[in-house]
Structure 1
């Protein structure tokens, strides 16, 4: 069994998966609306800023928190954006699951290092 052949088979399965198909459809809807596209870009930018605070162990100031809350509310009020974010989350979960499965054969290496 050739791992490269199986990797290509997995890539084809992912391409045809419901998760990826839904994400592509949702992204296409957003791409048709300049307002939605700008809003999701702004959301991503603020999301990174909030994550940066969390990683640094700092608290965002009250204005930043208020802006983030307002932005989340605005995004949640747009069905195409919530659909996109939900689809993106499902694809992310799928990839995490696949990575966990692919890492299984290498667990034996960790076990031998701890003996």
Structure 2
């Protein structure tokens, strides 16, 4: 079984050395070092989190909250570094999703895909 963990650690190292991770790290550092960008992104993510928590509790966001979230999203999208960071986060998310699909294939072969059950 330790071989599985060795491979997982190897995958983590490979991910850390990837262009996607390197780009993400550089952009993250740029945002962290820019007070305005950091504050904008923190505010946007806090609002996102609040809306998600509300939805998880079965509550629908108000029209005002949705409008506020859309305005904040448009604002952060206009900031070049934040926009690039969000694009790179999406790329990394896709990579991790793809890797997850690959490593769960043996379980899907054994149990079937969730949608097939």
TM-score normalized with structure 2 length: 0.83
Residue matched to 1:24: 25
2:108 maps to 1:101? no
Alpha-carbon distance in 2 for matches of 1:57, 1:8: 38
**Within 5 Å, which residues of 2 pair with 1:1-115?**
2-56=3-57, 58-111=59-112
Gaps of 5+ in 1: none
RMSD after superposition: 2.1
For this pair of structures, how many residues does the alignment match?
Answer: 112
More relative contact order, 1 or 2 (CA 8 Å, 6+ apart): 1
Shift of 1:62: 2.4
Instruction: With the length of structure 1 as denominator, give the TM-score of the two structures.
Output: 0.84
Q: State the Cα distance separating 1:84 from its structure 2 match.
A: 0.8
Structure 2: stretches of 5+ with no match in the other structure: 113-117
